[in-house]
Structure 1
Amino acid sequence: SIRNYEETLLRLYQRYLQILEQLSKVKPGLMVSKAKITDQEQKERMTEVYIKLRNQSIEAFCALLKRHPHFNYRLNILQTVLPRLASHEKAVRSEVTTTLFELLAHPDQQLLDFKAEILKELNKVLKTKPHTMMDPNLLDCLVLHLIIVDESKAKAIQESSQKTQQLHDQMSKLRKKGKLKEYKEIKAEMLTEVKAADAIGVDLKKSSEYNNQIIKEI
């Protein structure tokens, strides 16, 4: 049944994430030591394998965040990934930094709450991890135009609201004068304007609330 399919899929997703998390925490030196290998060349090969597995697990987490930012376990993944901004592995550090920038620059306004969560986690990382290994341009991700509502969209919403109000005022006057034909024409124009504003997909009030949260984190 569909229910069984969904439950199985969820269980497999959870297991997949658990495996990635375990791999992300692998300590190559400790793993090689536990294997009690004496051959130096074999030790080096195993160390490389464990490092590669660890790095690939972080890459997989980052790919999930970028491709599916609405994913149920996004906060858990974020908390695993962001501390790697200070990783000694350049490839890992670069991947996580790029992911951070992409998420904060994402145009989907439904992700505003997630962006606020990202900045909260980033704040924690900056307070607890050494900055020496972090990308020197890391804080460029805080440039507001990557986070708040696009200025052009906000302007379009404002202009549309003003026009809608003007049309509404005209309708009131026409109704009082009994000019029903003109009234219907203006009403149709106003409805078109409202639909156009909705199509922009920006809730300025909600966006403003999130922007205030974001500014606090910054």
Structure 2
Amino acid sequence: EGEASGGEGSEGEITAVQLLAARRDRLAHDKLRIGALCSSLLESPEKKLKNLYPILYLMEERLKDDTLNLCSVRKLATLSACEVFRDILPEYSIRHQDYSNVKLKKDTLALYKYEKELLEFYKRYLQRLEKSATLLRQKKGDTRKLEDATLSLSLVSLRCMCSMLVSRPHFNYATNIAQSVVPFLACRDQRARDIVTESCTQVFAEDNKGDITLTIVRLINQLVKRRGERLHPSALDCLLTLKIRDVDMDAETDIKHKKRQDEKHKKRIVNLSKKEKKRAKKLKEVERELMETQAQESEAARRKQLTEVTRTVFHIYFRLLKTAPGSKLLAAALNGLAKFTHVINLEYYSDLVGILRQLLVSESVGAREKL
């Protein structure tokens, strides 16, 4: 009997070893396959774009035979696809146009088809990332604990979404990515919050146009509205890195006023000056001033986005001062105001002073915040 039981144990042990060996072999096989597909694709994206089919397929939870895919394989496919897209996606946004009734040159048609297919693959990739990452955002009352492998894959998916946002902030679906990742600032998992904070910080630092920065700040504003006091204070950390040190919120109004004054001055000179030489000299001088004003106006247009970002940030901080004086978010709001208070225009000052006065006498505010 002892020998029989020993034989059964030995047989069970061999089976476990075989399973581990099979898993290892499968992982090695898929690793080589993904590597070969990516390498071939990067060498000739236009010809080998369809290599993305099997790569995206290996991101799926279940394979065609309904067996579970290995988490390690899914993670590898996810990261590999991210590197591929970072390499082959253009910097410009691809426009959706219908050329079915338009006769195009052969090269132009080939480029159009390639970009259309590339965009479709990218969309599918982002959808898979979002599906995987969403597991991190458990609903209220959901106390289920994710398996380590699933949790790791979800974090990788979130990191890849953020990576694409940082590397292609002006490409198609950048706004969609921002809409997907910003809510993770309210995630219970600090690692998820840190990933998003880091990416937002990088976007803010590198964004020269201001469009995606404004989008992200508005999304954070919406998050603050929805979550209120339940939001973790670290969700606001990225706002402190915004480039709004030199914003003059009154400058835009001043420039417009000056332009109107210059134009009035020009009309008055044309109508009132009698001597031709004197009039020409004055006109030339006023036109020069007008051109300078227009140059300032152009600069103001470029800074308009940043000004709107600043206003939205102050709305966030003011809302927290009014609605969450007893929460940990108060310190975050006060830190933000302390950093950016020098760019607040006059319309905000009286309101700010009034709120701060109320906070000083409030019993719900801690001694540290009052200081």
- Tell me the TM-score normalized by structure 2: 0.41
Cα pair distance change 1:123/1:98, threshold 3 Å: farther
C-alpha distance in 1 between matches for 2:168 and 2:230: 29
SS of match in other structure, 2:303: coil
- Tell me the TM-score normalized by structure 1: 0.64
SS of match in other structure, 1:69: coil
C-alpha distance in 1 between matches for 2:287 and 2:195: 52
Matched, 1:15 2:15: no
State the 1:96 CA deviation: 1.8
- Equivalent residue, structure 2, for 1:116: 218
C-alpha distance in 1 between matches for 2:117 and 2:133: 24
Cα pair distance change 1:13/1:170, threshold 3 Å: same
Cα pair distance change 1:54/1:88, threshold 3 Å: same
Aligned partner of 2:222: which letter? K
Task: Tell me if the contact between 1:78 and 1:118 (Cα under 8 Å) persists in the aligned partners.
Answer: no
Deviations 1:131-152 (A, max 9, x none): 5xx3x34345667x959x7664
Greater CA radius of gyration, 1 or 2?
2
Matched, 1:177 2:273: yes
Aligned partner of 1:192: which letter? E
Task: Tell me if the contact between 1:20 and 1:58 (Cα under 8 Å) persists in the aligned partners.
Answer: yes
Written as runs of structure 1 = structure 2, the 5 A alignment for 1:149-164 is 152-164=247-259
Q: CA RMSD in A?
A: 4.0
C-alpha distance in 1 between matches for 2:290 and 2:202: 37
Task: Tell me if the contact between 1:174 and 1:180 (Cα under 8 Å) persists in the aligned partners.
Answer: no
Structure having greater relative contact order (Cα 8 Å, sep ≥ 6): 1
Cα pair distance change 1:208/1:87, threshold 3 Å: closer
Written as runs of structure 1 = structure 2, the 5 A alignment for 1:1-218 is 1-25=110-134, 48-100=148-200, 108-111=209-212, 112=214, 115-124=217-226, 126=227, 131=231, 134=232, 136-139=233-236, 146=242, 152-175=247-270, 176-178=272-274, 179-200=279-300, 201-203=302-304, 211=311, 215=315, 218=319
State the 1:154 CA deviation: 3.5
Aligned partner of 2:262: which letter? L
Deviations 1:27-76 (A, max 9, x none): 8xxxxxxxxxxxxxxxxxxx554433221111111222334334443444
C-alpha distance in 1 between matches for 2:218 and 2:314: 6
Number of equivalenced pairs: 191
Identity of matched residues, %: 24
SS of match in other structure, 1:202: helix
State the 1:13 CA deviation: 0.7
Q: Which runs of 5+ in 1 are unaligned?
A: 28-46
State the 1:190 CA deviation: 0.8
State the 1:24 CA deviation: 1.7
State the 1:7 CA deviation: 0.8
Aligned partner of 2:132: which letter? L
Deviations 1:72-122 (A, max 9, x none): 434443343234334443322211233455667866443435532442245
The more displaced of 11-20 and 72-81 is 72-81
